[in-house]
């Protein structure tokens, strides 16, 4: 659902601070631009990644392809929930987003959308998503959906992200929640396989996100966010990347041991090996004082997760 020190931002000439999102008027925009801004608030690429894990989990829970109606409901409800969490995250983080080069062009720092409208939009998406899940799946799936939104925006964004270097670890439950939601929507319960799949996504988020945080370390430092690469040594960061990469791969193999076949296990073993090699290469480059190239692991981690869950979906069909 997917894991501060405040100061004014100067204009490009450095002459005067830029007004905050609450103070600045929203610039006039045509309808297409405004719609695009609201879509941007939902962080569609994150929604896409979450759905990659949801459908295979549903297929494994059902032992094949569930009804297309149920899949559609969960996809729509899950997309709305993930979008709601992202919109509310943008609303809460609007003060720090304007300090970071990576985020200062988002709709709230750019004053394309007002904070009030973003808050209303996010809460509306959240309410619709939970209502949809409650009406057409079951209370467990709906409850997990609501819990994921609340955890991500209240526990992670408001508290953990700004106070502890372990924020990515503790926030990892949000990104892994869609696995449980999809499984619960099919069965009304959670099995050991569901929790093992949850563990894969949970552990994966550290070797996935830490390389990104390494690349944007200065941005996070400027905003006063204690991401691990900001407050810890390069050695410590890379040690955690390697540790959690191993935990990710071992947990993915535990899923195989819980009853899946070689259609899942063989490709998971292959891409897991490549994932571990890339994690160790990153640590090795840092240890030798070479350019670390963290985005190489970041992009490969996305490919890794996609292949693992695609293999799970294929295993469920066969």
Ranges of each domain in the chain: 36-188, 191-317
- Are the beta carbons of 225 and 92 closer than 8 angstroms? no
**Those residues with Cβ within 8 angstroms of residue 107's Cβ, 6 or more apart along the chain or in another chain:** 37, 38, 40, 41, 90, 113, 118
CATH topology of domain 36-188: Tetracycline Repressor; domain 2 (1.10.357)
- According to the model, what pLDDT value does residue 1 have? 58
Confidence of residue 29 (pLDDT cuts 50, 70, 90): low
* Spatial distance between the Cα atoms of 240 and 9, rounded to a whole number of angstroms: 33
Whole-Å CA distances, 137 to 27, 143, 183, 274: 41, 11, 11, 38
Contact 165, 209 (CB under 8 A): no
Q: What is the mean pLDDT of the chain?
A: 89
pLDDT digits (tens, 9 = 90+) for 61-118: 999 999 999 999 999 999 999 999 999 999 999 999 988 888 888 999 999 999 999 9
Answer whether residue 6 shows pLDDT above 90: no
Token representation of residue 165: 């270097």
Check for a shared fold between 36-188 and 191-317. no
- Which residue bears the tokens 């297929």? 59
| Structural class in CATH, domain 191-317 | mainly alpha
Residue found by looking up tokens 């032992």 in the block:
63
Separation between Cα atoms, residue 297 and residue 275, nearest integer Å: 8
Q: Which of 57, 26, 134, 121 is nearest to 83 (CA)?
A: 121
Return the minimum-mean-pLDDT range out of 11-20, 139-148, 268-277. 11-20
CB atoms within 10 A of CB 248: 28
The candidate with the shortest Cα–Cα distance to 312, out of 181, 203, 197, 184, is: 197
- Per DSSP, 29 falls in state -
Name which of 145, 266, 140, 255 is nearest 195 in CA terms.
255
Helix/strand/coil for 139? helix
pLDDT digits (tens, 9 = 90+) for 302-313: 999 999 999 999
Say if CB 129 and CB 148 are below 8 A apart: no
Residue 24, C-beta contacts closer than 8 angstroms, at least 6 positions apart: 18, 111
**What is the arithmetic mean of pLDDT over 264-288?**
95
Separation in Å, CA 161 to CA 35, 115, 123, 286, 292? 29, 20, 21, 25, 25
The lowest-confidence range among 11-25, 150-164, 271-285, 304-318 is 11-25
Q: Cα separation of 29 and 235, whole Å?
A: 47
């Amino acid at each position: 659902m997917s894991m501060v020190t405040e100061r004014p931002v100067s204009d490009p000439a450095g002459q005067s601070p830029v007004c905050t999102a609450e103070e600045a008027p929203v610039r006039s925009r045509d309808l297409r631009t405004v719609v695009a801004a609201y879509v941007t608030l939902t962080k569609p690429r994150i929604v896409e990644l979450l759905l990659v894990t949801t459908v295979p989990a549903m297929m494994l829970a059902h032992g094949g392809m569930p009804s297309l109606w149920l899949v559609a409901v969960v996809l729509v409800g899950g997309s709305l929930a993930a979008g709601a969490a992202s919109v509310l995250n943008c609303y809460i983080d609007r003060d720090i987003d304007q300090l970071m080069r990576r985020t200062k062009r988002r709709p709230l720092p750019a004053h394309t959308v007002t904070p009030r409208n973003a808050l209303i939009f996010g809460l509306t998406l959240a309410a619709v998503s939970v209502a949809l899940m409650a009406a057409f799946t079951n209370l467990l799936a709906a409850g997990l959906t609501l819990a994921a939104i609340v955890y991500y925006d209240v526990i992670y964004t408001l508290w953990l992200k700004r106070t502890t270097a372990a924020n990515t670890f503790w926030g990892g439950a949000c990104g892994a929640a869609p696995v449980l939601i999809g499984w619960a929507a099919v069965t009304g319960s959670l099995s050991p396989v569901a929790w093992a799949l949850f563990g894969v996504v949970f552990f994966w988020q550290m070797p996935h996100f830490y390389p990104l945080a390494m690349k944007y370390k200065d941005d996070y430092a400027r905003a006063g966010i204690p991401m691990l690469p900001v407050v810890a040594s390069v050695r410590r960061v890379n040690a955690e990347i390697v540790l959690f990469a191993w935990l990710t791969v071992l947990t993915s193999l535990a899923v195989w041991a819980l009853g899946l076949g070689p259609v899942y296990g063989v490709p998971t073993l292959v891409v897991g090996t490549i994932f571990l090699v890339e994690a160790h290469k990153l640590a090795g480059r840092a240890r030798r004082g070479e350019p670390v190239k963290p985005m190489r692991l970041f992009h490969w981690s996305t490919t890794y997760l996609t292949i693992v869950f695609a293999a799970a979906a294929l295993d469920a069909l066969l």
